[in-house]
Amino acid sequence: MDIVAVDGLVKRYGELLALDHFDLHIAEGEIFGLLGPNGSGKTTAINCMLQLLTYDRGSIRLFGEDMAPARYDLKRRIGIVPQQVAVLEELSVRENIDFFCSLYVSDRARRRALVDEAIDFVGLAEFAGFRPKKLSGGLLRRLNIACGIAHKPELIFFDEPTVAVDPQSRNAILAGIKGLRDEGATVVYTSHYMEEVEQICSRIMIMDGGRVLAQGTNEELKRMVSTGEKIVIEVPSVSDAVLRRLRALPHVLEAGHADQTLTVRCEASPHNLTDVLGVLGAARVQLGRVYAEPPTLNDVFLELTGRELRD
Ligand SMILES: Nc1ncnc2c1ncn2[C@@H]1O[C@H](COP(=O)(O)OP(=O)(O)OP(=O)(O)O)[C@@H](O)[C@H]1O
């Protein structure tokens, strides 16, 4: 059974079509990535699923049941980690987590255990008595996460949880999300950082302008496009004649030399590296380090839309 089943969702803000027949199906135990540039409709889609926004058309089923504003039984099974940190300034770390947990769990003893577990989970034990304004940006994000997950939700929405956090907190957050999945939760993860989505998501949807452009595993998405690897070779100089010969190779899209580095972008094909090294060998070019980078999700987005994923 799909934990999330969204079909034909249409959402307008006045004239603006924010979601255009948007479909989303997520199986139990997935970390599903919603990847798209700013304004592509990720937050709108989440807020419709949570019934925080009304929508014009479409159906939303969560846990196999029709979602509606008064379905508190379903809402109780959901955790939300919003894009903007939403905690109470006058409460400590522990009190904040306890407050949000108390919206779902009334038994005090059970709540104390859940709050302790959430504090350990996000690594905030030594800050439990701190007020939010004493925390760094990364620690504040971790508190935001603890508030969203302490009640042990089965389905958790993370909306850009790593914006403006230091690398250490970012890694802790990503590891934490995988930990939640390992404990049985299903996760919806929105981001415009393709590396994160590649790192943790079982499946990824690329969206733009409120529409689904493509979806699949990381590898499936990369196989959908014709862009192949980027070959990078350290070499002090390359003559124009050699560059012309490289560009004339059957699967080469682009070849250029800058900063003592030759870069050759190719279409997907098994012999690109051999062909490129063949041209350089014939011209007796002295080579330094040679490596090939596989296509990124940015290449996929670029080929699908003609634009970069990052602004
Ligand atoms: N309350 C609103 N009123 C009018 N337009 C809105 C409103 N909220 C969002 N929009 C517009 O709807 C579109 C989708 O926005 P949304 O916030 O869902 O995108 P997003 O992919 O989540 O982007 P971001 O990463 O910036 O949050 C954008 O064009 C945005 O300007």
Same domain, 169 and 239: no
* Cα-to-centroid distance, 51 and ligand 1 (Å): 16
Q: For the chain, how many structural domains are there in total?
A: 2
pLDDT reported for residue 3: 97
* Cα-to-centroid distance, 43 and ligand 1 (Å): 7
Mutate to test the pocket of ligand 1, among 15, 42, 49 (most ligand atoms within 8 A of CB): 42
Same domain, 192 and 48: yes
Within a domain: residue 165?
yes
pLDDT reported for residue 129: 96
Same domain, 215 and 244: no
pLDDT reported for residue 134: 95
Same domain, 217 and 249: no
* Cα-to-centroid distance, 157 and ligand 1 (Å): 17
Nearest CA to ligand 1 atom 29: 39
pLDDT reported for residue 294: 87
| Calpha distance 290→267 (Å, rounded) | 18
Is-contact 42 88, C-beta < 8 A? no
Question: Can you spell out the DSSP letters for 191-229?
Answer: ES-HHHHHHH-SEEEEEETTEEEEEE-HHHHHHTSSEEE
pLDDT reported for residue 311: 53
Nearest CA to ligand 1 atom 28: 39
Ligand 1: residues within 6 Å at CB? 13, 16, 18, 36, 38-44
| Calpha distance 61→1 (Å, rounded) | 11
Mutate to test the pocket of ligand 1, among 10, 19, 40 (most ligand atoms within 8 A of CB): 40
* 247 SS3 class: helix
pLDDT reported for residue 50: 94
Mutate to test the pocket of ligand 1, among 22, 24, 44, 310 (most ligand atoms within 8 A of CB): 44
Indicate the pTM of the whole model. 0.85
Beta strand extents in the chain (DSSP E only)? 2-13, 16-27, 31-35, 57-62, 65-66, 78-81, 155-159, 186-191, 203-208, 211-216, 227-234, 252-258, 261-267, 290-293
* Cα-to-centroid distance, 44 and ligand 1 (Å): 6
Same domain, 182 and 269: no
| Calpha distance 187→201 (Å, rounded) | 9
Is-contact 178 31, C-beta < 8 A? yes
Within a domain: residue 79?
yes
Structural domain for 180, as ranges = 2-222
Bridge partner residues of 18 (DSSP): none
* Cα-to-centroid distance, 282 and ligand 1 (Å): 54
pLDDT reported for residue 51: 95
Residue given tokens 């051999």 in the structure block? 274
Encoding tokens for residue 277?
A: 């090294």
Mutate to test the pocket of ligand 1, among 43, 157, 158, 213 (most ligand atoms within 8 A of CB): 43
* Cα-to-centroid distance, 20 and ligand 1 (Å): 13
Same domain, 62 and 128: yes
CATH of the domain at 279: 3.30.70.980
Same domain, 232 and 211: no
Same domain, 146 and 283: no
Within a domain: residue 307?
no
Same domain, 66 and 89: yes
Within a domain: residue 141?
yes
Bridge partner residues of 259 (DSSP): none
Neighbours of 119 (CB within 10 A): 22
Low-confidence ranges of the chain (pLDDT < 50): none
pLDDT reported for residue 310: 67
